[in-house]
A and B are shown apart, each in its own frame.
Chain A
Amino acid sequence: MTNPINEITEEAELLFLIGTNATEAHPVIGYKMRQAARRGAKMIVCDPRRIDLVDEADYWLQIKPGTDIPLLNGLMHIIIKEGLEDKEFIAERTENYEALKETVERYTPEYVSELTGVPVEDLYAVARLYATTDKAMIFYTLGITEHICGTRNVMSIANLAMLTGHLGRPGTGVCPMRGQNNVQGACDMGALPNVYPGYQAVTNDEIREKFEKAWGVSLSPKVGLKIPEMFDAAHEGKVKAMYILGENPVLTDPNANHVRAALEKLEFLVVQELFLTETAEYADVILPAASFAECDGTFTNTERRVQRVRKAIEPIPGQANWQTICQMATRVGFPMHYEHPSEIWDEMASLTPSMAGINYNRLEKGSLQWPCTTDDHPGTPYLHKGKFTRGLGLFQPADHVPPAEMPDREYPFLLSTGRILYHYNVTTPYSSGIAELWDKEMAEIHPEDAERLGLETGQQVKIVSRRGEVISAVKVTERVQPGMIWMSFHHSATPTNALTSDALDPTTGTGEYKVCAVRIEKLPEAANA
């Protein structure tokens, strides 16, 4: 997120939500959005589903799944046509504006309306509202990134914010909300194939030498594999061993059958986990993991805020996760010894300029948002003040990319997936209270479709895609559009990702979880008895 969460209630005059169901995926952020709307901030919700925040919104753009780029281009088209762009911001802080202008020129309101299903009047109203509101924040999550054109979706959002000068000030910005508690922190720490901590490129000689010197080993200058590439490589027998910590790709990655087959092929698999997950079943060795309540450490939230996690009870498996990792490293020939996680942090911070000012003593007094470069640096609540990281902001125009797989005669329904309030990925089903409230998958289907198929809420059906099939109960609801089915992926009895597409965004390797084609088969009466 470029800007902090607290600006939702304290600064923003307009919240533009695109592809994010905050009240379920990031509930407390969702509450704040609701509070802001009720205190008079305007709200635009762009989502194919009637999510809860639609009730608070001034405009609901019910777009057809996978048409975010035409929508955003259409808004920019209107803004430019009406002269509502921020000319000063464009001139001083951006480049490549002409190319953007040329691309969005083609996205006339009528054409966009046809592609997206959003009425022309709403396109005008929303374009004017966003462009003319001084403090407007954009929020998005996986509804934007989990498409084959995810990277281009993100660029289009950045284009819109730059075009209207909504960056680099309080109450503005582009705010991707990171899913898991510490996915931001894991990326910040370099748990990516191409960077060391603080996004320092592995291909940069100077940086690599710095780490080689600190760790006393020689390091590869090559970019590693992204997760889906690892599974492909395992398939081909090129990756022979894996060490998976706290991830359950069999349940959460798209095209689960492909993942299973890849794990099957590995010569050696170590899984460090809390539970015997679907992924752990494939392991040769399972190492028991400690939960958040059993470890000292930090989590970094979606606004780059580094916060302490504290050990409240003794680790149930006998030791904290970092200790297990150190022992693994030591056994494979790299002796690793630390007394406390703060030492690991300090070593990282000494090699990472953007975190250099953060340490456990300071965190004891309160959280800090990086970049935080020196001991007296106060941290950075919002980014891009006066200047972008790369200098000038680059407009990167994008054209419409239809989803890789769309419904057809054989598979007439569009399946989209996401999170529900009561669960977080795959740990929450192990909470007895949560399990009591929400113990099975409920695939959402529109009443028109339900009637045509003769389905009622609670009934079990088989849902089939080109890649796999699952059994699920259905919930008849107007939250989804006709022709669409919506499912979560929290339950092992209904592994939704057996259905999802394995089409990937070529840049990030993110799977297209948001769109694939399926058909629904009724089960024989007995199955529902």
Chain B
Amino acid sequence: MQRVKLTINGKEVEAPVGSTILEAAEMIGVDIPRLCYDPDLSPMGACRLCVVEVKGNRLLPAACVTPVTEGMVVETESPSVVEARKTILELLVANHPLDCMTCDKMGDCKLAEYCYRYNVKDSPFTGEKHHYAIDDSNPFIIRDLNKCILCGACVRACEEMTGQDNLSYLYRGFHRKATTAGDVPYIESDCVFCGQCVAVCPTGALTEKSMAGQARRWEMEKVRTTCPFCGTGCNFDLAVKDGRIIGVLSAEDAPVNGRMLCVKGRFAWDFIYNEKRLTTPLIKKDGQFVEAT
């Protein structure tokens, strides 16, 4: 494979032709913040949080969509880059509920992570906030689009992973929304409840209903296992809190399925706690089952 040489933060890197600045940076352990970028989805270059400074370029290109070139000199945390990122984050939190203390995604939220990294507490921008009704009309997924940052990961996951094409952007400007056709609740849409959109959402906009209020992300013990339903052999993590399973989380390194699952693997595990589970041996006596002694 042909490779090009470039410099990132003063370090030399050799990256395959066609890789992006973001990928080249990852090769030497430089973490460029990103919200809309997802290695499993097509690049979009929309959130612009991954902007970097490239010597000789007056604009700040988005690292996730800019290919490396020979001799390129890149700075990923220069003052102008940091300032640009702060502004982007401030604009995002200007229209965000900021109820992080009770948000189920806390601990695994990219928005919160980067606000912490760039010390964004609130926003100098004031303006209208969304007051979308929370969609919890289905048994599995809670959708709180007030927390949505329009990264489009859910739209791409639904189309590119599952191929269900259930989500797209509706409306314009401030009212722009990543939602179902006709903006109906999931339960009334063509959703097949694979939960891929939940697995890729970087914020608390899409979360697992079974986990609501059950545990902070860092308290969850993750146990890697294999799906008990069909012969595909998907792997995932069971999320366990205090000896009780509270949900299923995608495992990106799962050999067969990556982060993809279907409704059964992701959401049907709760049969485990069905009250009809048999817990003790039974013996039939005169046509009736009685507990064995």
Q: Are A181 and B228 in contact (CB under 8 A)?
A: yes
Number of A-B contacts (CB under 8 A): 199
**For B278, what are the chain A residues with a Cβ–Cβ distance below 8 Å?**
273-276, 280, 286, 288-289, 317
The answer to whether A437 and B233 touch (CB under 8 A), given A284-B283, A305-B255, A312-B245, is no
Q: Are A431 and B281 in contact (CB under 8 A)?
A: no
A178 within 8 A of B: yes
**For A294, what are the chain B residues with a Cβ–Cβ distance below 8 Å?**
272
Interface centre among B228, B231, B272 (most CB of A within 10 A): B231
Interface residues of A in 429-459 (CB under 8 A from B): 430-434, 436-437
Contact with A along B209-224 (1 / 0, CB 8 A): 1000000000000011
Q: Are B245 and A5 in contact (CB under 8 A)?
A: no
From B258, which residue of chain A is reached at the shortest CB distance? A28
B55 within 8 A of A: no
Q: Are B238 and A434 in contact (CB under 8 A)?
A: no
Interface centre among B227, B232, B277, B279 (most CB of A within 10 A): B232
Task: Give which listed residue, A179, A276, A421, A433, contacts B270 with CB less than 8 A.
Answer: A433
Interface segment out of the listed B81-89, B125-133, B143-151, B261-269: B261-269
A34 to B192, CA, bound (A): 15
Query: Whole-angstrom distance from the CB of B283 to the nearest CB of chain A?
Result: 5
- B side interface size, CB within 8 A: 56
The answer to whether A428 and B231 touch (CB under 8 A), given A275-B277, A285-B283, A307-B226, is no
* Chain A: interface size category: 35 or more
**For B269, what are the chain A residues with a Cβ–Cβ distance below 8 Å?**
293, 431
A199 within 8 A of B: no
A520 within 8 A of B: no
**For B226, what are the chain A residues with a Cβ–Cβ distance below 8 Å?**
181, 292, 298-299, 301, 307-309
Interface segment out of the listed B15-23, B66-74, B158-166: B158-166
Contact with B along A174-199 (1 / 0, CB 8 A): 00011111111000000000000000
Query: Whole-angstrom distance from the CB of A404 to the nearest CB of chain B?
Result: 27
Query: Whole-angstrom distance from the CB of B4 to the nearest CB of chain A?
Result: 26
Query: Whole-angstrom distance from the CB of B83 to the nearest CB of chain A?
Result: 40
B58 within 8 A of A: no
Q: Are B235 and A307 in contact (CB under 8 A)?
A: yes
Q: 7 shortest A-B CB distances, which residue pairs?
A: A301-B233, A433-B139, A27-B262, A34-B163, A430-B271, A292-B228, A178-B231
21 contacts between A and B (CB under 8 A): A31-B194, A34-B163, A181-B229, A275-B277, A283-B284, A288-B281, A292-B226, A293-B238, A294-B272, A301-B226, A301-B231, A307-B233, A307-B235, A310-B225, A312-B225, A312-B238, A312-B240, A422-B263, A433-B140, A433-B270, A437-B138
Residue numbers of A with Cβ under 8 A of B are 5-6, 25-29, 31, 34-35, 38, 56, 177-184, 273-276, 280, 283-289, 291-294, 298-303, 305, 307-314, 316-318, 366-367, 421-424, 427-428, 430-434, 436-437
